[in-house]
A and B are shown apart, each in its own frame.
Chain A
């Protein structure tokens, strides 16, 4: 919920193209603005219902593979051209994904034992 509030505030003050170089905070806002969260969840955790179970974070794909896929995918995910998502904003989204910490050890989560 805090993330959503933070993003909503960010959306009101940042234009879509206002990239801040490698800013994870701005990347978080762009992750919401451009709808990445819709299929991948707000922490890039993915879902078998919408992303084939693939996760974006933590440890995202190398930048070249990540950005290449975003620009040119012809699979279920729709491609994002530079016209609708600038290189700067994409870099910030990548910085956001890099900033997401690892989850707790699954063997330490009582409910998942």
Chain B
């Protein structure tokens, strides 16, 4: 935008004068220091080890934008804070940056650092991931300010994860637009015509307001769009000059009232057709991924499954369905899909991958073996809101799958109508068969439970420690608490979601969405923040490779007293890649070169091993480990749980089996 000269009062001369005085004061060293310098270099002029920056360079580095707004009128960013507060955004995880210094100052001084409270982060990627994890527990979005270009570049991967995971995050990027007035040098390196272009492919909406009324509309609109299913991140590019301007017309500025938008529901005819197919099916199967947005979503899904006595296969994008319920049949998913005559997919990220298999064995001219997992005449039904918000570039929409009944709608919002329609459509003469179906599934659930316990017993006493042992040692310490698992578990055989009884929506939070590495720790911290406010105990199993992307999130947890038990799943490698390079070596009939490592060169995090306990300790977090013997786990975990119950983060480093 063009700066409004009448509102924005620069005073470069006074500011630089202040810098010059400060510089002169710095140059006037204390007498003792002068004496020491003289003694070291008698008879010569002291030479610094590096050249001092010129006045211009110093100004560019430290004094941008170079002017301070005069105090006439109200700071524009104070009004922005009023807008933000109207939406009750509780926290703002951020790495500070000068391109939003105006807003930052207003938030902490005018806004009282409440709603939002500034949470200091050490990386923008971590800040966005914290907002991501927070939403999955609290159901409310956070706002994250990032620095114009470079900060947004850091944040981009985490925004992509949120996009793929359908999580709203309000991203605000500071940017100094006026090329004729912004400071040259670093601030100009950090400015762009259109910063949002960097993330436009994976944000739902973005805007670049050019006035305060425009900001008010854009911010409320951004919040509203982000919170309308499918939830997605949104982006506001916020001009630094607009933030630092003043307004004499605050009384005339208004803030639009936020009214939540109803989520889209499935078309009535499509719902009835889906119900007819399901009610008349002999072997219906329900597959869910990101279906339950709320606790009520879990209840509705149970009601639907019980009405049909249909097995539920939970792909665990959310805590959709209680694993304590006999209709929870994840372990038998492949077999059940193969027998199904009707399959209902609810908010699936990958329908093709649900009903087809792909084997990475180089068949089919190298593309891998592809095979259908379902009967050719099986009827497929889909309810998914993602159809309403698909973009072209990034391929998160996955392969194309033909389905028989497809609704572009929010599954949770459609479930009440579907349940009612199913109950009406169930033929009277089929109710006995439906009940009998349930009996068989009860027996299968019980048998699966026993097999899972048996599987967990293998390598029970091994060192490195088995992942099943790690999971159950942790559960023993927290089972009597109101706990919430805030990390993923697919990287270590999914033991918690297989063996821990999970029946509440907050018992697990699903995965990262886009599988961008670096999500785990900060998302867990964000989720733990929401759990802290709800009085819950948070625990996360943390992969080692993922931790090293943004270990600074541990410091954020310590700084802001966010209680979280982090248990390292430390297999000392980027293990997925270890297996990939091994596979390629075999396919090419070559022995994988290990160097001095235990896996293909370049895929291991060893030599030297990282001491995660020391790392955590250095960042202000209670820690223990590395623990390599299973019998040492319980006492270490017990102490760590006590630290977390006292309100601190804690980390226990466990050296584990690979998966």
Give the B-binding residues of A (Cβ under 8 A). 1-4, 7-8, 11, 16, 32-35, 37-39, 41-43, 45-50, 53, 55, 74-76, 78-81, 83-84, 103-106, 109, 111-112
Contact = CB atoms under 8 A, between A and B. Distances in A.
Given A42-B462, A111-B472, A81 B589 contact: yes
A37 B459 CA distance: 12
Contact of B658 (A33, A41, A111): A41
Nearest to B455: A53
Interface string B354-385: 00000111010000010000000000000000
B464 A49 contact: no
Contact of B460 (A76, A84, A103): A103
Contacts of B459: 41-43, 45, 103
A38 B599 contact: yes
Contacts of A16: 591
A101 to B, nearest CB: 10
12 contacts: A3-B463, A41-B657, A42-B459, A42-B462, A48-B493, A76-B360, A84-B586, A103-B460, A104-B457, A104-B460, A106-B457, A112-B457
B361 A74 contact: yes
Interface residues of B, number: 52
Contacts of B469: 111
A41 B468 CA distance: 12
Nearest to A53: B455
B369 A1 contact: no
B90 interface: no
B402 interface: no
Interface stretch (B157-165, B301-309, B576-584): B576-584
A29 to B, nearest CB: 11
Contacts, number: 123
Contact of B598 (A7, A46, A79): A7
B463 A76 contact: no
B34 interface: no
A109 B359 contact: no
Nearest to A110: B476
Nearest to A76: B359
Q: 7 closest A-B pairs (Cβ-Cβ)?
A: A78-B586, A1-B628, A45-B458, A47-B659, A45-B459, A35-B582, A111-B472
A35 B586 CA distance: 10
A84 B594 CA distance: 14
A42 B586 contact: no
Given A1-B628, A48-B493, A39 B659 contact: yes
Interface string B543-582: 0000000000000000000000000000000010011001
A74 B363 contact: yes
Contacts of B350: none
B273 interface: no
A4 B598 contact: yes
A86 to B, nearest CB: 11
Given A46-B458, A50-B579, A79-B586, A1 B629 contact: yes
A43 B461 CA distance: 10
A32 B592 CA distance: 12
Nearest to B359: A76
B591 A103 contact: no
Given A38-B658, A39-B579, A78-B361, A45 B586 contact: no
A80 B209 CA distance: 61
B578 to A, nearest CB: 6
Given A33-B594, A38-B599, A78-B583, 9 more contacts: A1-B464, A8-B598, A38-B658, A42-B459, A43-B459, A48-B455, A76-B359, A78-B586, A84-B591
Interface string B437-478: 000000000000000011111111111101101001101100
